[in-house]
Chain A
């Protein structure tokens, strides 16, 4: 098993209850270490389930997930996790919360980084958690996760309730972390624009399955947006993800297998177009740009 994968799933599946539906099914992917990975998908796609499985907070129903080369339980001291609702002990102050982080992570606690994240928001360390707003709580939860100095940071909707300024500043802090210590960051969101600038790897989750996985550049390079006459033909050699006919004109997002006939006008799709096209067409085949795995 290659030790350079920060996160790896093999036929991973999770079902809630014996008769419940599958939240996640047949997921296989590999995330190399040092990447900043966006987990994108609509609400209820299985993003939180995937992150909880990686954090060792729930056990898979089938398949396996490997974290930093070992089981999620064994990797736990080296993994930081921020849950979607940012749970914190409401009766503690911010300073106490960080002291608790130091006491529970005795071997690798970075008090300076944790305090930097908190003071960046102008928070009073003596303030109680229960008196904080949603965005301020997010900041403390992130401080706790970053202060652990993890090798893998799992963030479930980390930026959802932050104002644009705080989002920009905290994203900067996270990226600096990633650059300085080679931290692998996995963050989920359903807002693509939020992640486009900072992430270099994408996991698109839809209907409990992995629809796209790989480096964002490679995924974009593998797709083309084409326009041409509806009766032109010649798209048979390509995988059509989505096509739309307006009058006599056809617009499509395709994965070309070879050069297309010259009468198609082609352009590079944006990340958002790519993601939306795959989400709108659940029947389109999945793509895993990770032959190196």
Chain B
């Protein structure tokens, strides 16, 4: 190592390498697009929370006050407008992780490897690992900050309609769940990490774009499958003549026999069959998550996705080290 030290020319000025400004400069169009999307969605969500929710709630109040079968006058447009705009905002927040993954795979990493500018960057005075670290950290901050703001506003907008608008989505509606909490933020970060890894592995723009999006969609799908099991569920038992049990995110349900055994709902097709099947049944049971489980489920899902994100980021550094770094044989040779 002495050879390396004596061979280095004396530093002219003790300056630090500046990589962040170049990531921002190279991806200025994406930064502007993200800022524009943030402004538009913020305006939409604030509108949903305030005037749009109020108008729709007033419409429902008029409708519910209608007497029986007589002709009724109520503000149907306000109700539909709230529903439509709520859907737009929710779809946008659900698509965000895939959007980030596609951008990261294609524009952030894949294009640099395909055009060779990554080689240019890796042969400057800063190590490739730093190149990658900046390309993960700077977008992560921008994405996390923006997604946090949007998901908080989405939760407020949803809350504004809750109990006032009859067609408002339940908390366990899957699109609502993944738009209005920390899961929206961590899924966007997972999209970033998945896109970066896809770009580094595939080294080409279009395949990385597709692979990043597919991987992120698959991760989202897996969290949906796992969701009911990420917090201890509540089980309620009722008699057959009672009404439906507590509403929430269902896990499982069935019937209770007179001896107290819990069975799945029996299958029957004719009246005689059903009478026979239900002869011994005294009640129902259901296992589900009530609304009080909303935040615990948000947090456990977020922790799970965050762990996957960390693994994806670690994988990116390993792939980068394999393609640029020194393998063990070289280290040994010069040791």
Contacts and interface: CB of A to CB of B under 8 A. Distances in A.
Interface string A83-101: 1010111011000100011
Nearest to A110: B12
Contacts of A85: 116
A104 B121 contact: yes
Nearest to A79: B123
Given A65-B330, A80-B123, A87-B120, A59 B12 contact: no
A68 B4 CA distance: 7
B330 A107 contact: no
Interface in A22-72: 55-60, 62-66, 68-72
A249 interface: no
Contacts of B121: 104
Contact of B11 (A72, A101, A107): A107
Contacts of B117: 87-89
Q: Classify chain B's interface size.
A: 35 or more
B64 interface: no
B269 interface: no
A157 to B, nearest CB: 13
Interface stretch (B44-52, B151-159, B319-327): B319-327
Interface residues of A, number: 50
Interface stretch (A120-128, A143-151, A185-193): A143-151
Contact of A62 (B16, B21, B324, B329): B329
17 contacts: A3-B3, A56-B122, A56-B123, A57-B122, A60-B327, A70-B1, A70-B334, A71-B330, A73-B324, A76-B125, A81-B123, A83-B120, A87-B115, A92-B25, A107-B14, A109-B12, A151-B7
Interface of B: 1, 3-4, 7-9, 11-19, 21-22, 25-26, 115-117, 119-127, 322-327, 329-331, 333-334
Interface of A: 1, 3, 10, 55-60, 62-66, 68-81, 83, 85, 87-89, 91-92, 96, 100-101, 103-109, 141, 144, 148-149, 151
Given A56-B324, A73-B127, A108-B125, 11 more contacts: A3-B3, A57-B119, A59-B326, A66-B333, A71-B326, A71-B334, A76-B125, A77-B126, A87-B115, A104-B22, A104-B125
